[in-house]
Amino acid sequence: MSPDALIFAYVAGLLAALTLLTLYTEARRRRFRPSRDEDRIFRCVKCGHVYTDDADVDRSRCAQCGTLNEPIRF
């Protein structure tokens, strides 16, 4: 084998290993990332406090003043 072919094989092997390591790391990161919760955003009509609550809640009580509020619609 010529020296050029050996250098090419060495560099190609390192790039292939780096690519496989990157793909493995990315797949692992996505698998263990916490899923995004679909929360509703509320703004208190009395005190102006902005907060979130579960998606299945139609009206939520403000944590600061206790007023029931409707979710914000964008």
Torsion angle defined by CA atoms of residues 52, 55, 56 and 61, in that order, rounded to the nearest 10 degrees: 10
8-20 confidence digits (pLDDT tens): 999 999 999 999 9
Q: Are 20 and 2 in a shared domain?
A: yes
CA 54 – CA 38 distance, rounded (Å) = 7
Determine, yes or no, domain membership for 74. no
In this predicted model, what pLDDT tens digit does every residue of 28-63 receive, in sequence order? Answer: 988 877 767 788 999 999 999 999 998 888 899 998
Encoded tokens for 16: 């292939």
* Owning domain of residue 17: 1-33
Per-residue pLDDT, 33? 72
Rounded Cα gap, residues 51 and 70, in angstroms: 11
> Is the pLDDT reported for residue 6 higher than 90?
yes
What are 49's two structure tokens? Answer: 């406090």
Q: Provide the domain count of the chain.
A: 2
- Its pTM stands at 0.50
Contacts of 41 (CB under 8 A, 6+ apart): 50, 51, 52, 71, 72
